[in-house]
Amino acid sequence: MKRRSFLKKTTIISLFPYITSGLLARNATEWRLSKKPFSLNFAPHFGMFKNHAGEALIDQIQFMHDHGFRSLEDNGMKSRDVATQNKIANKMSSLRMDMGVFVAHKIYWRKPNLTSGNKELRNEFLSNIRDSITVARRVNARWMTVVPGYVDLTKEMNYQTVNVVESLRRACDILEPYGLVMVLDREFMKHVVWPAKPGRA
């Protein structure tokens, strides 16, 4: 074998793993983009793919759709301005994507809320629920997250349960005519109050 032919063939063989990996990576990307949506209705958050799609929320939605997602979850949806909510809703509608949960009310991070039975806090909660109806209809959402809050150490558990159930019952009466559903999240229903965290009320 001639030296030149030997070197040429050896170079091609040595580069083969890199060529193959590049082709596989490209084919995998094309396969993902052309593949049907996920069989499970995963709902990512804004920010999860910003390093790929950029900071713009609309671009992030497009990226989610292109990679097989058909739903979006946005806990902070209620705090967004109306124009942004409308843009998100229009983009998702054009892609036939569903809106997942958003947080329906103010969450108290450092003291009991619904467990306390405090009438002012209950009325505030119910007012938040009413406001969430408009948001839900604007962004085509059906589900909203509700957090009962901390355990109240000054009350028996049975009384606290009654307080929470009564608040949820009244919220159900408000939401039922609109076909909206509360998703109960007990993550912050703690027996011990957490240390104060900056920026949380």
- 145: domain CATH number? 3.20.20.150
Q: What is the pLDDT of residues 126-144, one digit of tens each?
A: 999 999 999 999 999 999 9
**Is 15 part of any domain?**
yes
Residues above pLDDT 90, as percent of the chain: 59
Confidence (pLDDT) at 73: 94
**Is 2 part of any domain?**
yes
**Is 172 part of any domain?**
yes
Q: Which residues of 57-86 are buried (b: 16+ CB within 10 A; e: fewer)?
A: beebbbbbbebebbbbbbeebbebeeeebe
**Is 95 part of any domain?**
no
**Is 60 part of any domain?**
no
Query: What domain range is 112 assigned to?
Result: 101-201
Confidence (pLDDT) at 201: 42
Considering its fold, how many domains does the chain have in total?
Answer: 2
**Is 152 part of any domain?**
yes
**Is 144 part of any domain?**
yes
What letter would DSSP give residue 136? H
**Is 91 part of any domain?**
no
> CB under 8 Å, gap of 24 or more: what pairs does 158-167 form?
159/117, 160/115, 160/116, 160/117, 162/117, 163/114, 163/115, 163/116, 163/117, 163/122, 164/114, 164/115, 166/122, 167/114, 167/122, 167/125, 167/126
Confidence (pLDDT) at 18: 44
Q: Give the E-state strand segments of 39-197 in sequence order.
A: 71-72, 98-99, 102-103, 143-146, 181-184
